Each structure stands twice: as C-alpha cells, then as structure tokens.
Amino acid sequence: MKRFAMTGTLIVLMLFVAGCNNEEKRTVTIYQTLEKTASIENGFAEKQQTSVDVGQEEQAMYNKIISLKFEQKDEMNQLINEAKKLNKKQKKLIQEAKKRFNKAYQTFTQIKQVVKKMDDPSEKKKITAIINLMEERKELVASYYEQYAKALRSNDQLYEKIQNNELDASIVDKRINSINQHYKTMKKQEKEFNRKTKKYNQERQHYYQTL
C-alpha cells in the first residue's frame, strides 16, 4: 500500500496589529486554525505510514502462507501466528491514525463558524473551497479505514480457518479473492485522497499568498 499524502506547514509572516478590525481578526483565526490542523495531520501521516510498513510485513507473511500446501502444517502455523501479531498491531495503528485525522478535522471545523461571519465574498469563496476539499478528504479517510478494517478481519478469519482445518482449497481461493478486492479498493481510495490533499494544499497556499 502507498502512504497517504500529508499536508505541509507553510511559513508565513503574520503581523498581529493591535486594534485590527473584525475581518482581520477572522483572517488571523483562519490562518492559525489551518496551521494547527496541518500540524496535527503530520502526526496522522506518521501513524498511517507506520501502519503501511507493518501491513507490508503482514503481506509478506500472508503471501508465504497461501503459497504453502496444507501438508506443511507446522511451517504454516508458525507463519500464521506471526501474521496474526502483525494484524493485531495494524488494527491498533489504524485506530490511532483515524483518531489523529479526526482530531485534525475537529480543529479545522472551527473555520466554518468564522467564514459565516466574513464580509468579503472573495475571501469566503477561497475558504469555502478549502472547506469542501477537507470534507471530501474526511469522507475518503472514513471509507478507507472501513475497508482496511474489513481486510484485516478477513485476513484474521482466514488464518483461523486454515489453522482449524475448516477450509478446502476452493473456499480459501474465494476468501483470498475477497481480501484482494478490499486492498484494490483501498489503493483507489489512497490515490484519490492524495489527489484531494494536493489540491487542498494548493488552495491553502493560494489563500496564504493573498493575505
């Protein structure tokens, strides 16, 4: 799996002038909120990358497991036990990553209330574009982690079935195809999330340049 793209912090010099008007104060609030959101998202990207690294380890184990014959029971059980540990670790990591993104999103939503009070239509339009992109990214993250959780559960169930001798070759193949479909969907979601994040960063940078 590929890592998610992350929002980067842009260095902008802001002058906090005593007695600035309400519109200026709103602009400062929006800027500070965007920067705080980006900082929190850095933590999300780190957690996501760690889950991807562990996922690649499990994938290597998984590939070895499904390449073995059922007669190679001892070797298969050893690999399954290792894969189950990696699977469990991923479950924890994706919960942490999802929690981190949700924290960034909750911070970001403060902008919505500020935008409602803005007077400049042009400024409103710029910020609304950023808000819409964040909403689309949130939906993609939610859908991605739903698929991720399903894939991990399916992997775990497959390991249990193999260890308990409850599956014949045809059923194993069917389950493997189902698991592969989950990962195929996830790759599409990753690609779309990265595309939206690139656009989000571009819109954010454009907004900063107009301050």
CB 65 within 8 Å of CB 80: yes
Q: What is the pLDDT of residue 109?
A: 96
Long-range interactions of 5-9: CB distance < 8 A, separation 24+: 5/45, 5/193, 5/194, 5/197, 5/198, 6/41, 6/42, 6/44, 6/45, 6/197, 7/37, 7/38, 7/41, 7/42, 7/197, 7/200, 7/201, 7/204, 8/38, 8/201, 9/35, 9/38, 9/39, 9/42
Range in 27-36, 60-69, 189-198 the model is least confident about? 60-69
Higher pLDDT, 71 or 185: 185
What band does 167 get if pLDDT is binned at 50, 70 and 90?
A: low
CA separation for the pair 140, 145 (Å, rounded): 9
Work out the mean pLDDT of the chain and round it to a whole number. 87
What's the pLDDT tens digit per position in 121-144?
888 999 999 999 999 999 999 999
- Between helices 121-163 and 22-67, what is the axis angle to 10°? 20
User: How many Cα atoms occupy the beta-carbon half-sphere of 32 within 13 Å?
Assistant: 11
Q: What is the pLDDT of residue 11?
A: 41
CA separation for the pair 48, 95 (Å, rounded): 10
What's the pLDDT tens digit per position in 189-203?
999 999 999 999 999
What's the pLDDT tens digit per position in 73-126?
889 999 999 999 999 999 999 999 999 999 999 999 999 999 988 888 888 999
Q: What is the pLDDT of residue 93?
A: 94
Q: What is the pLDDT of residue 197?
A: 95
Range in 18-27, 46-55, 82-91, 153-162 the model is least confident about? 18-27
> Mean pLDDT over residues 67-77, rounded?
85
